[in-house]
Structure 1
Amino acid sequence: MYHWDFAALWQFRNVIAVGFGYTLAYTVACVLLGLLLGLLVGLGRLSTNPFISGPLRAYVEVFRCTPVLVQLVWFYYALPVLVGIEMSAGTSALLALALYGGAFYSEIIRGGIVSIDVGQSEAGCALGMTRFQLMRRVILPQAFKRMTPPLVSQSIMQLKNTSLLSVLAVPDLLYQGQIIAHETYRPLEIYTMVAVIYFLILLPATIWAKRLENRLTAQQGA
């Protein structure tokens, strides 16, 4: 019979709080940087110039077709050797996750823009709108509504991916949990606590994403 003992959780509450703070901070930073990069890449991929769209497509395929854990390790151990610039584990992790997220965000944004009826673009051009005005006033406002559910879902995935930061010794929630488990020899309680915290964050976010998707489906059906 195993006797559960969660007393260590209270003893190390400050360490847990620090790990939780790192997890949220990296999630927010990776989502914001990924969205910005995804917007630029998504718009760039719509270009008819192959010298612009070609390299951007290569970037998207590379990051979509390799595991994010491999990317984290590569950015931390291999990239400094390649460019001759030392980077901390935190910087490498942020760069890798932002680029990884940006590749997926760009496809969501590009798909949302392409889904808008081409007739609206033709009508805007007939009114004398520039390409920038057409994108800002007509295309993007409509596309954003369609993009919101998948963007939220991808942001949830970014939160899940932060659990991999512990591989690079970034003091996120999971890494701090490993430290506490080594100190207390109570891995069952500690890792259960980590799983519960992730669950309590991700469950409401997942329900919200599903409601957004259902609302969009209902609007399109109407």
Structure 2
Amino acid sequence: MMNLDYSVLLRALPYLGEGLLFSLQITLVAMAGGIVFGTLLALARLSRYKKLATVAAGYVNLMRSIPLILAIFWIFFLIPEIVAWLIGADHPVQIGTTRTAFIAFTLFEAAYFCEVIRAGILAVPRGQEGAGQALGFTYAQNMRYVVLPQAFRAMIPVLLTQTIILFQDTSLLYVISATDFLGAASKVAQRDGRLVEFYTFAALVYFAICFTLSKVVKRYQARLNKNVAHA
């Protein structure tokens, strides 16, 4: 421990910054895509059409039953082989680490967002939906103007908490040699032989970001509970 040299971090900051930016991009894109796809899955699970609800439930249960790292491996290694077989190509179709990251995280997180959103929809009093029907709203209009706005308002803390977990999970991309924040720190640490310095720095950055965001979520939750109590 006496031989630690944290000055090596200064020289690597631009590269580490690129890795952190990539991790944040994945988090934001997967959050947005996951919420959109998750909302569609939630509506499908609540659909009166049994086949549609069964397919949606099967997808959600599958994704929630496997490790995220396995989903990353599927898309990075298996999907190119399947696509090549379908189109009759001689070699696997390369997806690349960047597209793998965006696709894997969006599809995986959609299953978790789906359950959060479905619970939020079910928590909206049935009378609200009935009031929308009395106004002549169609099912789609009822969901858009009456149910979903109320559901999302209550779900925001949980969605943000899941997003924090999503940011932490981006560290798994090192297994496919993607240059996320942890991947960038690992590559420089291996190159310079400074594992302790870089992994300590990476841990501190993850802690600072996640702790700050968790405080924001907790404050928003307290404000939301206060508004509900006064309503």
Q: Which residue of 1 aligns with 2:163?
A: 155
Quote the offset at 1:213 in angstroms.
2.5
The superposition leaves residues 54-95 of structure 1 with CA deviations (integer Å, 9 ceiling, x where unpaired) of 111111001111111111112211222223233112212221
Letter paired with 1:77: F
Normalising by structure 2, we get a TM-score of 0.91
Letter paired with 1:103: A
Q: Which residue of 2 aligns with 1:42?
A: 42
Residue number among 102, 112, 116 corresponding to 1:104 in the alignment: 112
Distance in structure 2 (CA, Å) of the matches to 1:117 and 1:171: 46
Tell me, what secondary structure is at the counterpart of 1:12? helix
Whether 1:164 and 2:161 are equivalent positions in the alignment is no
Distance in structure 2 (CA, Å) of the matches to 1:219 and 1:34: 28
Residue number among 89, 112, 115 corresponding to 2:123 in the alignment: 115
Distance in structure 2 (CA, Å) of the matches to 1:129 and 1:20: 45
Letter paired with 1:4: L
Q: Which residue of 2 aligns with 1:186?
A: 194
Residue number among 196, 208, 211 corresponding to 1:200 in the alignment: 208
**CA RMSD of superposed structures (Å):** 1.5
Tell me, what secondary structure is at the counterpart of 2:74? helix
Whether 1:9 and 2:9 are equivalent positions in the alignment is yes
Q: Which residue of 1 aligns with 2:87?
A: none
Quote the offset at 1:3 in angstroms.
2.6
Quote the offset at 1:111 in angstroms.
0.9
Distance in structure 2 (CA, Å) of the matches to 1:201 and 1:128: 46
After superposition, residues 64-75 of structure 1 pair within 5 angstroms as 64-75=64-75
Normalising by structure 1, we get a TM-score of 0.94
Q: Which residue of 2 aligns with 1:31?
A: 31
Q: Which residue of 1 aligns with 2:219?
A: 211
Distance in structure 2 (CA, Å) of the matches to 1:53 and 1:62: 14
Whether 1:51 and 2:22 are equivalent positions in the alignment is no
Quote the offset at 1:221 in angstroms.
4.2
Give ranges in structure 2 of 5+ residues lacking alignment: 85-92
Q: Which residue of 1 aligns with 2:99?
A: 91
Letter paired with 2:147: I
Tell me, what secondary structure is at the counterpart of 2:144? helix
Distance in structure 2 (CA, Å) of the matches to 1:218 and 1:78: 49
Distance in structure 2 (CA, Å) of the matches to 1:183 and 1:170: 16
Quote the offset at 1:37 in angstroms.
0.7
Aligned residues: 222
Q: Percent identity?
A: 32
Letter paired with 1:125: Q
Letter paired with 1:47: S
